[in-house]
Amino acid sequence: MTVVSTTQDTEALSLVIVSELTAPPQRVWQVWADPRQLERWWGPPEWPATVVDHDLRAGGRTSYYMTGPDGSKAHGWWTVVSVDEPRSIAFDDGFADDSGHPAQDMPVTRVEVAFEEIPTGTRMSVTSRFPTLEALEQMVGMGMLEGMTLALGQIDAVLADA
Amino acid sequence: MVVEKLDRRELDDEEVDRLFGALADATRRDIVARVLREEHSVSALARRYEMSFAAVQKHVAVLERAALVHKRRRGREQMVSGDVEAIRAAARYLDAYEAIWRGRVDRIVDLLAQDARPDDPRDAQDEQHD
């Protein structure tokens, strides 16, 4: 299994997902650092991501949008908190309005990613923290749920391809 | 498996509003955490916080309306216990968020797998787009 563990904390409202990837940390780093690679996995298949700006430096901003099956766009942004290539990245992930400006009153998720070298490649840990249960509910409710359900259905197809 | 979990969301909008409203307060979250572990009387809870018995009783009432806790009488005491099912509703949202990240990890794996297959026609297609 690629995903080796997930830890949900319903009181602290956090999720840790740990996976083991068969590529060295420097290569895994690129799937986060290179906007063309990032957009190939950030959005679910029915809501592919387009990364407009990507500045992976402390204080840097990323802006992206995801395009739905009906052509509608969901905009998002990151503010990079810290970067230690190829060991860790921390950023805030939030929603944006149609012009790409951070949306007021929308949830912001703090995401911390750690890359650790292991004999078979890289252990990647992604920790997401939500400020409130409401934020978590909004995050999940923002049409991503539908997209994800579709994505899950397509994973088998992707794996059969590979 | 994860899809199944998503399908089990059965709260309607009004219930979700009440649930989030109830959990928006730190004291109420603390009360829930305590009564989930062990049934408490309202007066025992009131001793734990720097607020009046009436104030604690009000918090308990909000939690009760959100179906997070149950109240029962024991003699002159009102006993409060947690509703595990309601807490599971919060867990279901984390399940849904977990599904988002499982999808992302699967796509990263697929992307990395293509490194080993330079002749993959999908790679050639991507280069044309770039």
Say if the Cβ atoms of B107 and A2 lie within 8 Å.
no
Q: Bigger pLDDT: B4 or B78?
A: B78
- B96 closest CB neighbour out of A10, A36, A145: A145
Q: What is the domain count for chain A?
A: 1
Residue B2 pLDDT greater than 50, yes or no: no
A-B Cβ pairs (cutoff 8 Å, strict): 111
Residue A119: how many other CB atoms lie within 10 Å = 4
Structural tokens at position A107? 């949830």
Please state the rounded mean pLDDT for residues A153-162: 40
pLDDT at A149: 39
Residue B77: how many other CB atoms lie within 10 Å = 13
Q: Is A120 on the interface with B (CB under 8 A)?
A: no
* pLDDT tens track for B62-71: 988 877 888 9
* pLDDT tens track for A139-153: 666 544 344 334 333
Instruction: Write the ipTM.
Output: 0.80
Side chain identity at A96, as an amino acid letter? A
pLDDT at A28: 94
Q: Bigger pLDDT: A72 or A34?
A: A34
pLDDT at A6: 84
Structural tokens at position B53? 């018995």
Can you tell me the distance from the alpha carbon of B27 to that of B49, in angstroms, rounded to the nearest whole number? Answer: 8
Q: Bigger pLDDT: A12 or B115?
A: B115
Say if the Cβ atoms of B97 and A15 lie within 8 Å.
yes
Can you tell me the distance from the alpha carbon of B45 to that of B128, in angstroms, rounded to the nearest whole number? Answer: 66
Can you tell me the distance from the alpha carbon of B37 to that of A63, in angstroms, rounded to the nearest whole number? Answer: 44
The distance of B7 to chain A (nearest Cα, Å) reads 10
pLDDT at B3: 29
The distance of B46 to chain A (nearest Cα, Å) reads 22
Say if the Cβ atoms of A144 and B6 lie within 8 Å.
no
* pLDDT tens track for B33-57: 788 777 899 999 999 888 899 999 9
Nearest residue to A139 (alpha-carbon basis) of A113, A103, A114, A112: A103
pLDDT at B118: 63
Predicted confidence band of residue B25 (pLDDT cuts 50, 70, 90): confident
CATH number for the domain that contains residue A34:
3.30.530.20
Can you tell me the distance from the alpha carbon of A61 to that of A50, in angstroms, rounded to the nearest whole number? Answer: 15
Predicted confidence band of residue A107 (pLDDT cuts 50, 70, 90): confident
Phi, psi of A38 (to 5 degrees): -60, -40
pLDDT at B106: 92
* pLDDT tens track for B94-108: 777 888 888 899 999
Residue B125 pLDDT greater than 60, yes or no: no
* pLDDT tens track for A37-63: 999 999 888 789 999 999 999 999 999
What DSSP line would sit under B32-70, residue for residue? Answer: HHHHHHS-EEHHHHHHHTTS-HHHHHHHHHHHHHTTSEE
Q: Domain range for residue A60?
A: 3-161
Say if the Cβ atoms of A128 and B101 lie within 8 Å.
yes
Q: Bigger pLDDT: B86 or A110?
A: A110
